[in-house]
Amino acid sequence: MIRNALRACSRPEPWKRGPVLTALALLLGLLLLLHATLPDWAGLGSLVENVLPWLGVFIPVLLAAALWRRSLSAATALLLPTVAWTTLFGGLLPDKSHPGGDLTVATHNVGAADPAPTARTLAAADPDLLALEELTPQTTPLYEKTLAPTYPYHAIQGTVGLWSKLPLAATHPIDIMNYGPLAATKSAAAKLPENRALHTTVTTPDGPLAVYVAHLGSVRLMPRKGFWTSSRNIGAAALTKSITTDPTPRVLLLADLNGTLDDRAFTTLRTHLHATQQTSGTGFGFTWPATFPTARIDHILYRGLEANRSWTLPKTGSDHLPVAATLTWS
């Protein structure tokens, strides 16, 4: 009896149990709150920001461990990451769509998908504007042939193209490989195909709509360079400059940005454009990889319009999912 009493007295109180779990919970909360302050050494900052929603998975894991250890301090500390995650991503979960819409648009990195069936799948969604990325000299004619009956207008620049039910004008490429302020690192994009972005003006009954189609450089996890984002960041800076200096009141960006909008590379772009998934979608709308989507890297961004609905389209042979949205003239 005396032995049991001594053993009970020697046990740490609930508030003192699990100091490591408490520290991990606090660290997780701070990481969610202060991710923008992380140094981007070897791409660390961008890497964390591209998986930021998935950090929430650690909350129930730590909670289970805290309950097992009967640690009140760890359970209480978990309030910080829970509130932080909910603040950052809780607004994405409910359905924000509403009826109506003047314009339906879609975008898809077609990759190695079979052109004819992919084109038919995309056309079945009946978008007024359809952007395709990662076109090749071999696949482009097949997309043109298959989509011609539905889309009388189209514009292609290098590896990106736009098919439209409305007239297009003043189409031109955007150089996203040789952005001046990043000239010291432009060799990182030297091997990218030319013309990975275009600008065109869509003539609508409600006035001109500036449309950008872009496919930014890929990112890679590399043994010596870490999370390599150089070519992507060059393209992001060049694309951002074009859009922020565009005087057209209504602007639409259809793109494979090879990064989520939490990535610091798109901080300025986020201040000038809205994302359809955030304003009119349901959930995260992950698009890559198509077999088990874990990140939203394909985007429909806009200004001067209102988004009614955002969703992903059925899987094609590509490793990306297509995305679509309906918008209203504001």
The arithmetic mean of pLDDT across residues 228-250, rounded, is 96
Q: What is the pLDDT of residue 184?
A: 46
The arithmetic mean of pLDDT across residues 24-44, rounded, is 96
- Binning pLDDT at 50, 70 and 90, where does residue 264 land? very high
Alpha helices in 205-274 (DSSP H): 230-244, 267-272
* Residue scoring higher pLDDT (168 or 188): 168
- Binning pLDDT at 50, 70 and 90, where does residue 193 land? low
* Residue scoring higher pLDDT (64 or 181): 64
For the chain, the structural domain boundaries read 2-92, 103-329
Region of 132 (left: φ > 0; alpha: ψ -120 to 50; beta: rest) is: beta
Tokens coding 209? 């709509």
| pLDDT tens digits for range 146-172 | 999 999 999 999 999 999 999 999 999
Q: What is the pTM of this model?
A: 0.91
Q: What is the pLDDT of residue 195?
A: 84
Q: Is the pLDDT of residue 188 over 50?
A: no
Other Cβ atoms less than 10 A from the Cβ of 87: the count is 11
Other Cβ atoms less than 10 A from the Cβ of 89: the count is 17
- Binning pLDDT at 50, 70 and 90, where does residue 4 land? low
Q: What is the pLDDT of residue 10?
A: 45
DSSP string of 122-138?
Answer: HHHT--SEEEEES--TT
Q: What is the pLDDT of residue 3?
A: 56
Region of 195 (left: φ > 0; alpha: ψ -120 to 50; beta: rest) is: left
Q: What percent of the chain has pLDDT over 70?
A: 91
Q: What is 103-329's CATH topology?
A: Deoxyribonuclease I; Chain A (3.60.10)
Rounded (5°) CA angle 209-215-219: 145
**Segment among 23-27, 96-100, 184-188 with least mean pLDDT:** 184-188
- Binning pLDDT at 50, 70 and 90, where does residue 11 land? low
Q: Which amino acid is at 218?
A: S
Q: How many helices (H) and strands (E) does the chain have?
A: 11, 14
Q: Are the C-beta atoms of residues 107 and 254 closer than 8 Å to each other?
A: yes
